[in-house]
Each structure stands twice: as C-alpha cells, then as structure tokens.
C-alpha cells in the first residue's frame, strides 16, 4: 500500500515538474521580449512615443503640447510609483471622441512590463495596477488623470478575449498616444507594441462580443448617469447621452 502511494506521489511530482518547465519556458520568452525593448535614458523621451500631429486630430491645438508634456510627466511618475516600464499608453473615452469639456478627466490605458525578478518569483505576477493623479493645468486649474495599467501578457489575453476598452485605446488618435515603445531590432520596418496589439486584436476580435459589451455599457451608463440624474431632478451632462448613443450604434452595427 505504501509502495503504491509512493509511486503515485512520484508521478505527481513528475507531472508538476513538467508544468514548471513549461511555465519556465513561457517566462523565458517573456523575459526575452522584455530584453528586446529599445534602450532609453528615460522611459518617456522622444524615441518612445509617437509625435503628435501639428494641426489635426483630437487633442491637437494651442496648448496641447504643454498639456501633453505634463501628462507624460504623470506617466513617468506612474512608472516610478509602480516600478514598471510602460510599453504603451493612450487616452480613451470622451477625449478621444472630441466630447470632452474643461472638467473632463484624462482616462489613460497603459501596458507595462514588470521587473525581471517578478517573472522568476513563485507568486502571481501583477496583472493590473490602477492609480489616480491630480494634474495642474496651464491656467492653474486641476483635473484628474486616471491610469489603468495592464501587464503585457495580461493585455495580450485581453486582446484575444475581445476586450473593448483595450481596442478603444489602441485605435485612439495619434495625438493622444503618449507612449508606443519600439523593440530593439536591426530591421528598418519596426513594429511598435501598440501596432502589434492592434494587429492581434484586428485578427481575433469577435464582433458579437463587442456588440454585447457595447450594449452592456449603454445599459450601465443609462442606469448610473441618466436614470440617476432624472431621479434627483438634475440633468446629466450632454456627453453622457452621446456615450450611450455611441454604444447603441456600435451594438447595432456589430450585431
């Protein structure tokens, strides 16, 4: 009886060892991917993010260069606070559609890679880190910067799972892409992290899943903003109605 138990435990140990070897291979590939990042003196210098368009697109205009520089400073602070390297960061929500007002927050989606040691640890790797910052504007006014960061492997899984929030950030106007790292490569045709994720999303996204997600967002926004405002006798901001109409149109087109 004891011999059978010993044999069973030995088989289980061999099985767990095979799984550990497989996970180690995956992590080695991820570490190699991290080593391929373009070396920079600062994670937010001119070589790591797309240059903003000079006269067109959402966010372009007088004062945007200074605002952009301030937001990049906030992203650099996020990197220091969280202890990660950002591969991609871009706006989403009302600012990408041109519906923002003076009081609108900056909602930013970011993709990051953790320090090497985290990929070798036994515990789980951080999948998401969200932080809020207060940004002082050019006129002295203040607004909120909400940064939602996803670890790169988790972001790839979200892309394969038809996540609409990630797709929205990947397709935002070039003026509002703050970081898009290039891999270290000898090829003249380099493809950035954002472009890679967008290509994956374009090939794998399920339109019915996007339609259902848009419908769910419309229902939640109506309950949280329109119905709630009506119950209190206060009108909801106009952009809240626009967000609901947009999601309903997305659901209609993709169904």
**Domain membership of residue 243 as a residue range:** 211-254
Q: Is the pLDDT of residue 191 over 60?
A: yes
Dist. CA 74–CA 178, nearest whole Å: 11
Checking phi first, is residue 201 left (phi over 0); if not, alpha (psi -120 to 50) or beta? alpha
110 and 231 together in one domain: no
State the total domains in the chain: 2
Dist. CA 80–CA 57, nearest whole Å: 30
Three-point CA angle 29, 35, 36, nearest 5°: 90
Question: Using an 8 Å Cβ cutoff, are 160 and 122 in contact?
Answer: no
Which range, 54-63, 83-92, 114-123, is most confident?
83-92
The answer to which of 29-33, 65-69, 150-154 has the lowest mean pLDDT is 29-33
246 and 161 together in one domain: no
- Look up the pTM and report it: 0.70
The number of beta carbons lying within 10 Å of the beta carbon of residue 141 is 10
Give percent above pLDDT 70 in the chain. Answer: 69
Element (H, E) at 28: helix 2-35
Domain assignment present for 240: yes
The answer to which of 2-11, 108-117, 188-197 has the lowest mean pLDDT is 2-11
237 and 188 together in one domain: no
168 and 194 together in one domain: yes
Domain assignment present for 5: no
């Amino acid at each position: 009886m004891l011999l059978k138990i010993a044999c069973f435990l030995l088989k289980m140990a061999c099985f767990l060892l095979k799984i550990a070897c497989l996970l180690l291979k995956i992590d080695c590939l991820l570490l190699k991917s991290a080593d391929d990042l373009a070396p920079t003196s600062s994670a937010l210098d001119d070589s790591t993010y797309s240059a903003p368009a000079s006269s067109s697109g959402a966010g372009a205009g007088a004062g945007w260069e200074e605002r952009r520089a301030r937001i990049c400073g906030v992203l650099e602070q996020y990197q220091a606070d969280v202890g990660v390297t950002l591969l991609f960061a871009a706006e989403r929500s009302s600012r990408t559609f041109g519906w923002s007002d003076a009081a609108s927050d900056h909602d930013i989606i970011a993709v990051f890679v953790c320090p090497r040691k985290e990929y070798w640890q036994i515990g789980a790797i951080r999948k998401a880190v969200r932080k809020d910052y207060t940004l002082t504007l050019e006129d002295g006014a203040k607004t909120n910067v909400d940064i939602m960061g996803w670890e790169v492997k988790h972001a790839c899984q979200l892309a394969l799972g038809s996540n609409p929030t990630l797709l929205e950030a990947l397709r935002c106007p070039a003026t509002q892409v703050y970081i898009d790292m290039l891999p270290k490569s000898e090829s003249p045709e380099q493809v950035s992290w954002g472009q890679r994720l967008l290509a994956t999303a374009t090939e794998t996204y399920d339109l019915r899943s996007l339609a259902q997600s848009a419908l769910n967002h419309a229902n939640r926004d109506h309950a949280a903003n329109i119905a709630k405002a009506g119950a209190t006798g206060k009108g909801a901001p106009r952009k809240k109605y626009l967000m609901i109409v947009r999601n309903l149109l997305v659901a209609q087109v993709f169904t």
